[in-house]
Amino acid sequence: EEEEDYMSDLFIKQDIRPGLPMVRRAKEALQKEEKQKEANEKNRQKSIKEEEKERRDLVLKSALGNENKGFALLQKMGYKSGQALGKSGEGIVEPIPLNIKTGRSGLGHEELKKRKAEEKLENYRQKLHMKKQANEQAADQFRIRFKTKQEERKMEGDLRKSQRACQQLDMQKDIDVPKETWFWIEPEEEDKKDEEDKEDECTSSDLSVSEKLHILTAYLREEHFYCIWCGTTYEDSEDLSSNCPGDSAADHD
């Protein structure tokens, strides 16, 4: 054997990049695997369903011939290939397509699935609608509570205003004791109260703020000809009735 000449052109032109033999072997293994898959696919025996499908597709693609008794009868009645059915040619041209059932589910199963899906969708829509209604009702109730609280605060302010006016007007007439204990603003600090005061407090506590405000404003109008919403003391009842819009905040609004 001749010794290799490491300075020859044949040896110098060889690709000796690192890792190249490994890449080449991987590429060859991949090609070999693809060839093996193609050979297995060719040698694979077709299933009965696949063979039936191929035969069925082949028959459906081919047109009917004279050997078919039904087609022969149509020809005797004047039918020609490609012509629409019917006396005046208003019928179908192509045969009714076959709907092959490949699954193992019973008849009507698809309709049942479709109906269940529609019912599920309808239930989902109803839940969304009910949730929307519940949110709207909650928002309405919140607005009503907020409005009610605002009205209560306004009435409490009007009641305090009426109590201060009543106390001032009563003192101007030398009235030392209010007609009702709650007609005047109670002192902030009061250590002792007798039993009569306690009974009066229990009676007055049974009244709501709106009832107290209505009673007290009526007293101010009748006794002092004064309207808290006008902020005016009139000369007499005739002057009050002719110049004051009414005996409530709504009348003055």
Residue partners of 229: CB distance under 8 A and separation at least 6: 158, 249, 252
For residue 217, the enclosing domain spans 157-186+207-251
Residue 122 located in a structural domain: no
Q: Is residue 218 part of a domain?
A: yes
Q: How many CA atoms lie within 13 A of 163 on its CB side?
A: 17
Helix (H/G/I), strand (E/B), else coil: 240: helix
Number of domains composing the chain: 1
Alpha carbons within 13 angstroms on the beta-carbon side of residue 67 total 1
* Amino acid identity at 100: I
**Is residue 150, in this structure, part of any structural domain at all?**
no
User: How many residues make up the chain in this entry?
Assistant: 253
Question: Is there a domain that residue 228 lies in?
Answer: yes
Q: How big, in percent rounded to 5, are the helix, strand and coil portions of the chain?
A: 60, 0, 35
Between CA 166 and CA 226 the distance in angstroms is 9
Q: Read off the pLDDT band of 248 (50, 70, 90).
A: confident
Amino acid at 214: H
Give percent of the chain above pLDDT 90: 17
Residue 163 lies in a domain: yes
- Residue 159 burial class via C-beta count within 10 angstroms: exposed 0-12, middle 13-18, buried 19 and up: buried
pLDDT per position as a tens digit, 3-25: 555 455 555 555 555 556 667 77
98 lies in a domain? no
Q: Write out pLDDT tens, residues 119-135.
A: 999 999 999 999 999 99
pLDDT tens digits for range 25-36: 788 888 888 888
The answer to which of 20-24, 95-99, 155-159, 213-217 has the lowest mean pLDDT is 20-24
Assigned domain for 110 exists:
no
DSSP secondary structure string for all residues of 42-90? HHPPPPHHHHHHHHHHHHHHSPP-TTSHHHHHHHHTT--TTPPSSTTS-
174 within a domain of the structure (yes/no): yes
Instruction: Write the DSSP string, 111-169.
Output: HHHHHHHHHHHHHHHHHHHHHHHHHHHHHHHHHHHHHHHHHHHHHHHHHHHHHHHHHHH
51 CB neighbour count, 10 Å cutoff = 11
Contacts of 71 (CB under 8 A, 6+ apart): 64, 65
